[in-house]
């Protein structure tokens, strides 16, 4: 049993109580993490505030170098962090389509390196005999980070790297379900960064609430559900914190009748079921033209029946368990309601009765439509509704009839037609013949109730700064 610690001001810190970290493949604990409280948040904020003056005035070239050192540290500790990630999230080491814990650590390295290379130069508005007008970017101060359990390290890096490069200091709270990888990473990072620059406080909702409302935290980055995001936004209003919110999504994909079913089905399956569907930008509603509806459903079901579901530490495993019992129960309820509503289960639909762990087979439900909870709500699990459509305008209207707008996709052999259609999707990120294909130099943002602000590239880096306009009068 490994005991992890919080990191505050460069020191390992324990708490009076601990939380057990559960391996979702077995349902048993394998590590403990401190159950911090608001007093630990206060201490971490004080440490971050004390470290801010020196870090914010450190030349950006030096901060870039520190980020590159963090990327090298991730590479050097790849195996340890990958195993921790699999044990606490359940995701396979490799996974279907190569989406697993190895990809999470590798993606964290890539994002750290790409962020280190991102530029945010001074913009010149005017420079003539009368005056020079510049737009500069300054560090904000102390940034609070609250991360979810589905991609704990990679989403953490998405938060920490641009904040640090911009000259801010950070107080991080990992999910109480998956604190281990993050706490270990931040412990290792403190061997590279000055004390107080990157702090970690583990614990439950009271820690998150303390971060959201803390008067000495200047900006908050949160990734999680839309309801929690609204609560975070309300709590953060006390001192008008800057906010970046990446919230839930119920992403729709629309499949046109001209696709090659056998060629497209594996891509769709990966887009829907990678990480067991536990990704905000996973494809969660599939609208399929009536001409290929049965053929595509059958092909997806055949793939689902062929994949190996099991312990993620087995490199042959394609899909692991759900991360926690609560999420498994949500998937079970949605499946039961879909069955009662007349949904036709092409595969899956029943959790195993023996073996332990939070397992559920990849499940595909046909003959279901909008109005059913499985279609209207984000299931965040390995269960996919496929909805038949006849008219493309009707399919577009259905896809957009959601309070969320994170991602969306069009699948077609006609790229010109697909490109025209994809612009009609009310989503912050859209794809043609792909889904959730994100990259560190392209911004990710949500529409409607899927978020506020953006991440990645120079757009995301700018969100970690205050804008300052400087006018130098020459004459």
Contact 345, 351 (CB under 8 A): no
Find, among 89, 93, 91, 57, the residue nearest to 78 by Cα: 93
- Residue spans of beta strands (DSSP E) within 187-281: 198-200, 219-223, 242-246, 252-255
CA distances from 472 to 122, 134, 135 (A): 14, 8, 12
- Scanning the structure block, which residue is given the tokens 């969100």? 463
Find, among 189, 208, 181, the residue nearest to 33 by Cα: 181
Would residue 272 show up in a list of annotated catalytic residues for this protein? Answer: no
For the residues of 327-340, what is the DSSP string, one character each? HHHHHHHHHHHHHH
Catalytic residue from among 85, 272, 280, 454? 280
In sequence order, the β-bridge partners of residue 388 are 288
Contact 429, 406 (CB under 8 A): yes
- Residue 428 tokens, joined: 């912050």
Cα–Cα dist 203/82, whole Å: 22
For the residues of 19-67, what is the DSSP string, one character each? EEEEETTTTEEEEEEE---HHHHHHHHHHHHHHHHHHHTS-HHHHHHHH
Would residue 280 show up in a list of annotated catalytic residues for this protein? Answer: yes
Length of the chain: 475
Catalytic residue from among 88, 104, 176, 246? 246
- Residue 177 tokens, joined: 């379900």
Cα–Cα dist 284/183, whole Å: 31
Collect contacts of 470-474 with beta carbons under 8 A, ≥24 apart: 470/133, 470/134, 470/135, 470/136, 471/131, 471/132, 471/133, 472/131, 472/132, 472/133, 472/134, 473/130, 473/131, 474/129, 474/130, 474/131, 474/132
CA 307, chain centre distance (Å): 24
C-alpha R_g of the chain: 23
- Residue 113 tokens, joined: 């390196």
HSE-CB for 468 with a 13 A CA cutoff: 12
Could you give the residue numbers annotated as active site?
246, 280
């Amino acid at each position: 049993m490994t005991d992890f610690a919080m990191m505050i001001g460069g020191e390992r810190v324990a708490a009076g109580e601990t939380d057990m970290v559960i391996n979702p493949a077995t349902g048993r604990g394998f590590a403990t993490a401190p159950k911090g409280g608001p007093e630990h948040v206060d201490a971490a904020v004080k440490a971050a505030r004390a470290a801010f003056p020196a870090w914010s005035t450190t030349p950006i070239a030096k901060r870039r170098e520190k980020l590159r050192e963090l990327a090298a540290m991730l590479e050097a500790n790849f195996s340890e962090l990958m195993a921790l990630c699999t044990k606490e999230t359940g995701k396979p080491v490799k996974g279907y389509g190569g989406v697993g814990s190895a990809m999470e650590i590798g993606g964290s390295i890539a994002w750290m390196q790409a962020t280190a290379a991102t530029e945010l130069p001074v913009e010149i508005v005017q420079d003539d005999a009368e005056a020079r007008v510049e737009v500069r970017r300054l560090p904000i101060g102390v940034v609070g980070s609250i991360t979810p359990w589905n991609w704990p390290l990679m989403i953490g890096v998405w938060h920490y790297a641009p904040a640090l490069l911009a000259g801010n200091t950070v107080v991080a709270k990992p999910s109480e379900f998956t604190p281990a990888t993050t706490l270990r990473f931040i412990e290792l990072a403190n061997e590279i960064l000055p004390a107080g620059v990157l702090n970690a406080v583990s614990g439950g909702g009271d820690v998150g609430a303390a971060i959201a409302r803390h008067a000495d935290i200047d900006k908050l980055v949160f990734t999680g559900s839309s309801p929690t995001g609204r609560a975070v936004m309300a709590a953060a209003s006390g001192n008008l914190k800057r906010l970046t919110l990446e919230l839930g999504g119920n992403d729709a994909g629309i499949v046109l009748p001209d696709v090659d079913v056998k060629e497209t089905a594996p891509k769709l399956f990966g887009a829907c079921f990678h990480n067991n569907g536990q990704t905000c930008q996973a494809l969660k509603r599939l609208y399929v033209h009536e001409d290929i509806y049965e053929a595509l459903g059958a092909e997806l079901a055949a793939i689902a029946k062929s994949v190996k579901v099991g312990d993620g530490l087995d490199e042959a495993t394609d899909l692991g368990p759900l991360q926690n019992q609560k999420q498994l129960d949500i998937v079970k309820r949605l499946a039961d309601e879909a069955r009662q509503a007349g949904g036709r289960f092409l595969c899956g639909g029943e959790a195993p009765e023996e073996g332990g762990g939070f397992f559920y087979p990849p499940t595909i439900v046909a003959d279901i439509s909008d109005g059913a909870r499985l279609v209207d709500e984000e299931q965040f699990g390995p269960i996919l509704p496929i909805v038949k459509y006849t008219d493309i305008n009707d399919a577009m209207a259905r896809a957009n009839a959601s309070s969320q707008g994170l991602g969306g996709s069009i699948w077609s052999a006609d790229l010109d037609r697909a490109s025209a259609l994809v612009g009609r999707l009310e989503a912050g990120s859209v794809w043609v013949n792909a889904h959730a294909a994100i990259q560190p130099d392209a911004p990710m943002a949500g529409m409607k109730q899927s978020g506020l602000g953006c991440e990645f590239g120079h757009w995301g880096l700018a969100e970690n700064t205050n804008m300052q306009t400087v006018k130098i009068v020459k004459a």
